[in-house]
Amino acid sequence: MKKHPIVAIAMGSDSDLAVMSEAANVLDEFGVGHEVLIVSAHRTPDRCRAFARGAERRGIRVIVAGAGKAAHLAGVIAAHTTLPVIGVPLDAGMSGLDALLSTVQMPGGIPVACMAVGKAGAKNAGLLAVAILALSDAVLARRLAAYRGRMASDVAAKARVAARRGVTKS
């Protein structure tokens, strides 16, 4: 049974799906209901505005928005909602630097959390959405703590293997 979406993952183009699916994968891992949609701030501005304005009413609690080039999607969405918006800059040219700067340079008063460029940023956007939701969901908070614990254990195990191979500690 699919859970009611509480996170929306928006992207400007279907070409962004390969990267933005990282956020969906994280939300799936934590059992967080989400929706994925394509909405362009420039090519479908009315649809973008309607999505942003109606998201909270539909039960969405966090929005993850990924876009490349001008990367205004997260900012446009944030301008039309008070929900938390997490921006993921995508590499559509200039190694994603243009998208990163467009996402991080929001004017005071319209916040957008900005992740790293690309897949790591999309994954972290999913994790930040989980962390935001975990503030009011004890089960999700425990799952997030367990996830972090598994990461720490994995690193410790890899460090032990490296030490056996002669990699020195610094």
Q: Is the pLDDT of residue 168 over 70?
A: no
- CA–CA distance, 162 with 143 (Å, rounded to integer): 29
Place of tokens 């009315």: 46
Band of residue 10 on the pLDDT scale cut at 50, 70, 90? very high
Give the pairing type, strands 62-68 and 7-11.
parallel
- CA–CA distance, 97 with 53 (Å, rounded to integer): 29
Q: Is the pLDDT of residue 1 over 70?
A: no
Q: What is the pLDDT of residues 91-128, one digit of tens each?
A: 988 889 999 999 999 999 999 999 999 999 999 999 99
- CA–CA distance, 28 with 153 (Å, rounded to integer): 22
| Residue 137: partners with Cβ closer than 8 Å, 6 or more residues away | none
Asked whether the CA dihedral 34, 38, 42, 45 is positive or negative, the reply is negative
The sheet that has 34-38: what strands, in order across it?
Answer: 34-38, 7-11, 62-68, 85-90, 113-114
Q: What is the pLDDT of residues 55-67, one digit of tens each?
A: 999 999 999 999 8
Least confident of 12-16, 30-34, 38-42, 66-70: 66-70
54 and 157 Cβ atoms separated by less than 8 Å: no
- Closest alpha carbon to 119 in 18, 12, 9, 15: 18
Band of residue 71 on the pLDDT scale cut at 50, 70, 90? confident
> What is the structure's pLDDT at 149?
97
Q: In the predicted model, what is the mean pLDDT of residues 87-93?
A: 92
